[in-house]
Amino acid sequence: MKEQLLQFIWRFQYFNHQQLHTEDGEPLQIISPGTINTHQGPDFLDAGIRIGDTSWTGNIELHIHTSDWKKHAHQDDKNYRNVILHVVWENDLRSVGDLPAAADVAEGTVGRNIPLLVLQHRIPKLLLGKYAAWMNHRSFVACERQLPQADEKTWSDWKRQLLEERLHRRVLFIQGCLEQNNQHWEETVWWLLARNFGLPVNTASFEAIARSLPLRVLARHRNRVEQLEALLLGQAGLLEANFSEDYPLSLQKEFRYLRKKYRLPVIHPSGLFLRMRPGNFPAIRLAQLAGLLSLSTSWFARMKEADSPRELKQMMAVKTSPYWDDHYVLGKRSSPNPKNLGEQMKASILINTCSPLLFAYGRLREEKAFLDKALRWLTEIPAEKNALVAGWGRQGIYSTNAADTQALLELKTRYCDPKKCLDCAIGNFLLRPPLPPLN
């Protein structure tokens, strides 16, 4: 038994209430289990119980063993003075006289032993067995065998909440960026765009490159894509080799001049991963990013003005310099293949950069129209295609748009992988004991 599971069982009252009594034999009625406390102090606050003919209002503390009360030194903690019931999985003390006492359970009861409720033989074995099986499961998700039992409404409500949780985390990140750049939304967009182009493994490195190149500097060179490439590739440390081709040599020369002119900081994006699919090679992604900047350095204004993701997507007609048509890395020729920005990357920008920024703008400025717009865009963007989304599909959980896929990505990474089944609406639904038959 885990204390988190015991809290879950108490919260939803998933135990047998028939002939409920305290450990010293007094009849017990649970009027209200209280509200879960996420701060210091007892596990549940403002509970209501009735013991014999006396009603009590106060807090509930849960432990695996009765002796945990003293092990945790609750008897010396004033936060536990108003505990009216001690709920445990197992009573490991010998007699009622050994039960923990509170200094002040309530007025006039100084030194009174706290009533004890033992749940060990009152919790359905099916619930315990199912939870134990989930914790030991090693497949895609722990509850995959029971997933078909969850109804459509539970899924719909939970996916909506998951999407908002995911967007809320991004709001916090964007808010942090704004605090660092004096509330400059376009600069923040630049940082997030760079992170997006660094997906899946170079996000931090690409962000470091972006932060080292102020948008005002890049704006001066917007009409010269080769200068933008020189700045990005140079700050990435990709122009330090001895080249023989003319174009890399010209980029190298241009970067050395611009670095001196703008006194650019020397950064070492040591996390720059080079081994990946050719289309994601850092040099290619940085060249595409330079192409996007050559189209505009005011992408946030475009996001706010665009009515649909399709409209904004059409603005991303990025073409790299001709040099990249037959190169994936600097100085090494490859088979001809244009490196224009693909449909999948455009969709990724809309999902991972544009929609979160619009949502953050609406949340931080309290403008509901932008909140609605961000959510609407996600429903209009096709479902993403990746291993996690495919994994959900194999479980019979399908996505119709990016709002679905973002919710499922949040579910898998934030709940399923760390086995936070007790915090998951689907887990809650599947662990719920069956209703008793109607008479």
Cα R_g (the chain), whole angstroms:
29
Q: Provide the pLDDT confidence category of residue 107 given band limits of 50, 70 and 90.
A: very low
pLDDT at 104: 42
pTM: 0.84
Domain boundaries, the chain: 3-123, 169-380
- The whole-number pLDDT of residue 220 equals 96
What's the confidence (pLDDT) of residue 352?
Answer: 97
Q: Which two tokens stand for residue 132?
A: 């134990």
pLDDT digits (tens, 9 = 90+) for 129-177: 999 999 998 889 999 999 999 999 999 999 999 999 999 999 999 999 9
Q: Per-residue pLDDT averaged across 24-44, rounded?
A: 94
Residue 402, pLDDT score: 98
- Angle at which helices 225-235 and 282-295 pack, to 10 degrees? 140
How many angstroms separate the CA atoms of 62 and 123, rounded?
Answer: 15
Instruction: With beta carbons less than 8 A apart as the criterion, state whether 74 and 91 touch.
Output: no
Backbone dihedral angles phi then psi of residue 64, each to the nearest 5 degrees: -75, -45
pLDDT confidence of residue 105:
39
CA 65 to chain centre: 34
Average pLDDT, the chain: 91
Q: pLDDT for 178-193, tens place per residue? A: 999 999 999 999 999 9
